[in-house]
Chain A
Amino acid sequence: MSTTASTSSNNLTFTSIVKSFFESYSKTPQKLKIIDLFLIYTFITGVIVFTYCCLVGTYPFNSFLAAFISTVGCFVLTVCLRIQINPINNFGKTISIERAFTDYLLCNLILHLVVFNFLG
């Protein structure tokens, strides 16, 4: 037990953690990986928009709001989709993937109705 513990503590280097993460992550279904990629994409876009606002200025403020609400909203909705699709969460029996995706699209439509109200 102690040996196992020391071995595992030796293995806890940054690279080993990353390696272990990728090993575990490779078992993730492909659909979730694509969703994760999209999450990264929206997150980075949101960060860039916010950084611009902090560095350059809020003008035009409505455009900033539109962009930021869009990225944050998209991110939240996509996270929800990911939770619903993830087989670990066992939503599959009550909510089908297609139903979850349709909900996601519908929510996105409503979100973007709000967003394009802010477009200048």
Chain B
Amino acid sequence: GSVQSKITTTRGISNVYSKNDINNIKQFISSKYNGNTKLYGESLKDTFYGVGVLTRIGETNIEATKDICKQTKEQLKQNKFTDIELVFNGVTILSELKCLQGESSSSLGNEQQLQDLLKNKLENGSLLEKTQAINIYFTLSSAKAIDSKTVSIIDPLLIQAVNSMVSLMDEDGTFKSVSTDDEGNLQNTAAAYFALARLSHRLKSNEVDKLVAKVVNKVDTVLASADETTDSLYFNDLSTTSSLLHGLLSLASVNDKVADVISNKQINQISEYLLRQKNVESLSDAYHLIVALKRCQKNSISQPISLALVKSIYSPSGLNDIRVRVTDIFDQPIEASIVINKVVSSKNPRSTPILSGKEMKFQSSDNSFVADLSNENLKLGSYNFEFKVQPVDTDSYKSITNIQIITITGAVTVNDMKLSYAPKSDQLGSPKTTNEVQFGQKLPLIEIPSNNIARIFFRIASEAQPYQAQQVGIRFYSPAREAVVPATYSADAYSYTFTNKDACKILGCQSGNYQLDLIIGDQSITPLQWNFGEINLKFNQSTIPTNRYPEQLPISHNFRVAEKRPPQSISSLFTLLVLSPIAIFVIGLLFVGTNLGRFPTGMGFIYTIGFLGCISATGLLIVNYWLHSTMDVTLKNLALLMIPLVFFGHKSMSYYSNLSSSNIKKD
């Protein structure tokens, strides 16, 4: 699987670390220089980061180099080779600033103390201390700034150091700080990889190579702990990713098997991750970024390359100069051959390629590759260009296949604009019924009879080629109405046909003169709006209001007119009149005569009076209801009144009944 993944063609990297980025980081480092302490940032460690960045980006003329060297040496002397990290930082700074030349370790402090420090740390130090001791030793010896006596003491300790370092490797391939630790971490692993690579390179011993091979066998499990997204890969954070990449690639330079484990694609993914960390905020991040990018640029596994368009928008006349550049991660040009594999429309990427297998020519003047597509009949629009890049140096670079979108934009013209109308649609093609207008001009007012069918016909062309735009509409407008209708595309031409009924529907049956505009919109052309004519339309139907809620008059409430009433006097007169028959009744009674002598006595009297009283009360209750009360109250009172009424009624009636039956018996 790893072999297969190694030959996978990638898209290359989407971005590079350009000169601009280098200038930005240079400015960032300079801004951290402290004139008082003669150091970058706060400490010797920050200075180690700052100097590391500047030397790696090829900044040869570092301001205040002498001051920094002087300050570093002073700090080393003061420390008297006691703090291994400080010594490591200091020695590295001096080495990178080339201040170690002609110096001896004794000028930095006591030689014996240095020997003791290195010996102690190599034998008993933690993993990081061991790696720092190894780095100090190698740095000093390559600068020839170390005593031959010290060399004779330290050299034999190195193989032992390799042994003890490899023994700190955990089962998952990570390295522990000390043997008593539970598990290893990636920072230790990175430092161990780098130190082991240096040792293997220096010692050239089979024993060391075997131990290194043992470590390399576990590299795949270390790699598997990476966090991966679709196009990037990293370990925890920038500094871990950077250190581990640095360690891995150093290891790869001494053991070929590493290249089988780490793939071309993974290097690309790590590069993508690194390029997203361009905006650094600390000296440490800056150092780790640049170290990792430099390792990506030059390594023995795979060096990422980038293909970039010089420009992505072309006019039809500029198609003879489609330019791309192929560079490494630091934007340095790479020798290669480029073929445009295929060109397809972006709208329909699966369609048949418009172009395929077009070779690009190298132009040394600006290190770009050029293709002339002016004869390829490319219409306006966006295209997916698939480039295949085959680098010349196949050992360092792998070929990539990259898709870029190129947009061809320009102006369009409208041809054959015709407005025709006729009673029947098959007569529309006849020249008699057709009015033609040149692009940019305007037709005189045309009256379209209401029983006719009308058609607007036109073609859109770009560079004498038919062109299909994304949005093509015809706008009808008058001060009262406005409507835009889409034109239908068919057989390289656009048309819009409408009857009086259609127009009535879109324009709300508002008769009158309408201006006609042609509107063309598309992302790859200059938008166009052309007022090409004016028509008069007449509709038989009544106008439909523009507002869906028609305007309403204010609501006026019609109250019922009071019926005619008679004057008060007539009502009063009638009241008297209607009561007058009572007089007849009373006078009549006088003539007929009443027989009150038979009015009962005793209990009969009480019952009769009670009965009459209840009947009178019922009458009064009705009068009371008429004048003041409600039905509810009246019925309740009536129900109450019914109790004595029924009682007295029954009693008095039975009294009279007994009385009359006893009279009959007497008779």
Instruction: Report if A and B associate in a common complex.
Output: yes
Residues of A bordering B, CB below 8 Å: 30, 33-34, 37-38, 40-42, 44-45, 48-49, 52, 56-57, 59, 67, 96-99, 101-102, 105, 109, 112, 115-117, 119
Give chain A nearest CB distance to B215 CB in angstroms.
113
Interface residues of B in 617-667 (CB under 8 A from A): 618, 622, 625-626, 631, 634, 649, 653-654, 656-657, 660
Contact across chains for A56 and B566 when beta carbons are under 8 A apart: yes
A41 to B588, CA, bound (A): 10
- Give the residue of B574, B588, B653 whose beta carbon is less than 8 angstroms from that of A101: B653
CB pair A57 B564 closer than 8 Å: yes
* A-B complex: 6 closest residue pairs judged by Cβ atoms: A37-B588, A41-B585, A98-B653, A44-B581, A33-B592, A98-B657
Question: 1/0 contact trace for B387-412 toward A, CB 8 Å?
Answer: 00000000000000000000000000
Q: How far is the CB of B623 from chain A (nearest CB, A)?
A: 9
| Bound-complex Cα distance A105 to B619 (A) | 12
Is B615's beta carbon under 8 Å from chain A?
yes
19 A-B pairs besides A56-B574, A119-B626 with CB distance below 8 A are: A34-B589, A34-B594, A37-B584, A37-B589, A40-B581, A40-B584, A41-B582, A41-B588, A45-B578, A48-B577, A48-B578, A48-B581, A56-B570, A59-B565, A67-B578, A96-B657, A98-B654, A99-B653, A116-B634
Contacts of B615 in A (CB 8 A): 105
Asked if A109 contacts B618 (CB within 8 A), the reply is yes
B180 at the interface (CB under 8 A from A): no
Q: Closest CB of chain A to B608's CB: distance in Å?
A: 12
| Closest-CB distance, A114 to chain B (whole angstroms) | 12
**Cα separation A119 to B584 with both chains bound (whole Å):** 26
Least Cβ distance of A67 to chain B in Å? Answer: 8
14 pairs of residues in contact across A and B, judged by CB atoms under 8 Å? A37-B584, A37-B592, A45-B578, A48-B574, A52-B574, A57-B565, A59-B565, A98-B656, A98-B660, A102-B649, A116-B622, A116-B625, A116-B626, A119-B622
Cα A109 to Cα B635 in complex, Å, equals: 12
- B570 to chain A: which residues have CB within 8 Å? 56
Q: Is B593 among interface residues, defined by CB-CB distance under 8 A?
A: yes
Bound together, the chains give a CA A102 to CA B570 distance in angstroms of 39
Residues of B near A56 (CB, < 8 A) are 566, 570, 574
Whether A37 contacts B649 by the Cβ 8 Å rule is no
Name the prevailing secondary structure of the B interface residues.
helix
Count contacts on B: residues with CB < 8 A to the other chain: 32
Interface of A, secondary structure class, is: helix
> Among residues 520 to 566 in chain B, which have CB atoms less than 8 Å away from a CB atom of chain A?
563-566
* Interface presence of B595 (CB below 8 A): yes
Residue numbers in B under 8 Å from A30 (CB-CB): 592-593, 595
Query: Once bound together, how far apart are the Cα atoms of A37 and B593, in whole Å?
Result: 11
Closest approach, in angstroms, between the C-beta of A32 and any C-beta of chain B? 10
CB-defined contacts of A101 to chain B, threshold 8 Å: 653
Collect the chain B residues with CB atoms within 8 Å of residue A115's CB.
Answer: 622
Query: Shortest beta-carbon distance, B174 to chain A, in Å?
Result: 104
A48 to B580, CA, bound (A): 10
Chain B nearest CB, measured from A103 CB (Å): 10
Q: Which of A38, A96, A98, A99 has the most CB of B within 10 A?
A: A98
- Inter-chain CA distance A37–B582, complex, in Å, is 10
Residues of chain B touching chain A, judged by Cβ–Cβ distance below 8 Å, are 563-566, 570, 574, 577-578, 580-582, 584-585, 588-589, 592-595, 615, 618, 622, 625-626, 631, 634, 649, 653-654, 656-657, 660
Q: How far is the CB of B200 from chain A (nearest CB, A)?
A: 121
In the complex, chain A residues whose CB is within 8 Å of the CB of B588: 37, 40-41
Query: Which residues from chain A contact B589 at a C-beta distance below 8 Å?
Result: 34, 37
Question: Is B566 a contact of A57 with CB atoms below 8 Å?
Answer: yes
Least Cβ–Cβ distance between B574 and chain A, in angstroms: 5
Complex: A99 Cα to B656 Cα, angstroms: 10
A38 / chain B contacts, CB cutoff of 8 Å: 585
Taking CB atoms, residues of chain B closer than 8 Å to A116 are: 622, 625-626, 634
In the bound complex, residues from chain B placing their C-beta under 8 Å from that of A105 are: 615, 649
Interface centre among A40, A99, A102 (most CB of B within 10 A): A102
CA distance A34 to B586 in the complex (A): 10
The smallest beta-carbon distance between B581 and chain A, in angstroms, is: 4
Chain A residues with CB under 8 Å of B653's CB are 98-99, 101-102
- Across-interface contacts of A42 in B (CB, < 8 A): 581
Chain B residue with minimal CB distance to A119?
B626
Given contacts A30-B595, A33-B592, A59-B563, contact A97 B581 (CB under 8 A): no
> Nearest B residue to A66 by beta-carbon distance?
B626
For residue A47, which residue of chain B has the nearest CB?
Answer: B581
What are the residues of chain A within 8 A of B566 when measuring CB–CB? 56-57
**Bound-state Cα–Cα, A102 to B566, Å:** 40
Evaluate contact between B563 and A99: CB separation under 8 angstroms.
Answer: no
Known: A34-B592, A57-B566, A59-B565. A45 touches B581 (CB 8 A): yes
B594: A residues at CB distance < 8 A: 34
Asked, given contacts A99-B657, A102-B653, whether A44 binds B584 with beta carbons under 8 Å apart, the answer is yes
What residues of chain B lie closer than 8 Å to A34, measured between beta carbons?
589, 592, 594
Bound-state Cα–Cα, A35 to B660, Å: 19
Q: Shortest CB–CB separation between residue A6 and chain B, in angstroms?
A: 35
Shortest distance between the CB of B590 and any CB in chain A (Å): 10
Known: A30-B595, A49-B578, A56-B570. A40 touches B565 (CB 8 A): no
Shortest distance in angstroms between A86's beta carbon and chain B's nearest beta carbon?
16
What is the CA–CA distance of A112 and B581 in the complex, to the nearest angstrom?
20
> Is B660 touching A96 in the complex (CB atoms < 8 A)?
yes
Closest to B627 in A: A119
- State A16–B593 Cα separation when bound (angstroms): 25
Contacts of A112 in B (CB 8 A): 622
Whole-angstrom CA separation of A119 from B624 in the bound complex = 11
C-alpha spacing A41/B579, complex, angstroms: 10
**Cβ-neighbour of A41 out of B584, B649, B656, B660 (below 8 A):** B584
CA A97 to CA B656, docked complex, whole Å: 9
Complex-state Cα separation, A58 to B657, whole angstroms: 45
Q: Which residue of B lies closest to A67 (CB)?
A: B578
Distance between A64 CB and nearest chain B CB, rounded to angstroms: 11
Q: How many angstroms from the CA of A30 to the CA of B595 in the assembled complex?
A: 9
A42 to B582, CA, bound (A): 9
Expressed in whole angstroms, the minimum distance between the Cβ of A96 and any Cβ of chain B is: 5
* Alpha-carbon distance A17/B378, docked complex (angstroms): 133
